[in-house]
A and B are shown apart, each in its own frame.
Chain A
Amino acid sequence: MEDAGFIIGSYVLTFATLALMSWRVLRSGRRLADQIPDEDKYWL
């Protein structure tokens, strides 16, 4: 039973961290994109 907690905990911790990183980067991307003209965005 203890094993299951550690194993599932490892997965939850890993995927939660990846989700948090993704959310932070996407959020700052959207915030900054509002203030930068399109011609300066080399990816468009």
Chain B
Amino acid sequence: MTTIDKAPTVQSQRAGTGTRGTRILGTLTIVSMVWLIAFGLGFSPADRDQQEAVRIMYVHVPTIWIAYLAFVVTAVASGFYLFKKSLGWDRLAGASAEVGTVFVALTLIVGALWGRLTWGVFWQWDARLTTTALLFVTYVGYLAVRRLGGTHEQRARRSAVIGLLAVLLIPLVHWSVRLWRSLHQEATVLDPDGDIDMDGLMLFSLFVGVIAFTLFYVWLMLHRTRVMAMEDMMEDRGLDEALASRRREAAMPDSEEN
């Protein structure tokens, strides 16, 4: 019976972090993105007050939804890491925070473009805008802490604590429009009164945006957590090789010193 070499096959090298599942998910994501562009820029009507600027909402609202989702996932995964001590949870937390931070940045930039059209200014030190900027800076800090030196376990433990604390900003951001006098409008869909005062086609376009970005988030998370697992393996391999090299040096006869 012959043995098979365990070296990476050409097929797996080409696939990278992809599987049949991620390819199906990726296709669904692209289809839903096309729908979002068609409804967001084409089929949905102009708003009575915001006019055409409402079309920015179909990307602006889903971006902050994904950021909230990503940071909640980071907090939950951080909690699981502290409980289970499995690095898989830490990688999930880190990957989700990366995606969430990019989405908050997009929320701020796209929101500024919408603000210029609707309010006449790109930025105001308004409660919602300021707390969202604070959320962004906090998670940039979280990602910086993840890059500090130490073992995987040290990285995981300190970032898990920050991940659990940072998520407390989300209720502050969400409720800031009610806690303080704010220029930013209150929630339309997640209105606590349960009354959604929105045109059906507009609501559908927003819904398509949320679905499209959620699919994208799941797809990207699958790939990113796999990349992070390989990065950790490569780091461990490099450390093992460095240790072996040091041991060889230490085991060498003293002749070289003389």
Give A residues with C-beta under 8 Å from B: 2-4, 6-11, 13-15, 17-18, 21-22, 25-26, 28-30, 32-44
Contacts and interface: CB of A to CB of B under 8 A. Distances in A.
Main secondary structure of the interface of B (DSSP, over half): helix
B155 interface: no
Given A10-B60, A25-B223, A42-B229, 13 more contacts: A6-B117, A10-B59, A10-B113, A13-B109, A13-B110, A26-B16, A30-B16, A32-B16, A32-B231, A33-B13, A36-B233, A40-B230, A41-B226
B177 interface: no
B102 interface: yes
Interface of B: 6-9, 12-19, 33, 37, 40-41, 51-53, 55-56, 59-60, 63, 99, 102, 106, 109-110, 113-114, 116-117, 216, 220, 222-224, 226-227, 229-231, 233-234
B227 A29 contact: yes
Contact of B116 (A6, A32, A35, A36): A6
A36 B63 CA distance: 34
Contacts of A21: 99, 102, 220
Contacts of A38: 6, 8-9, 12
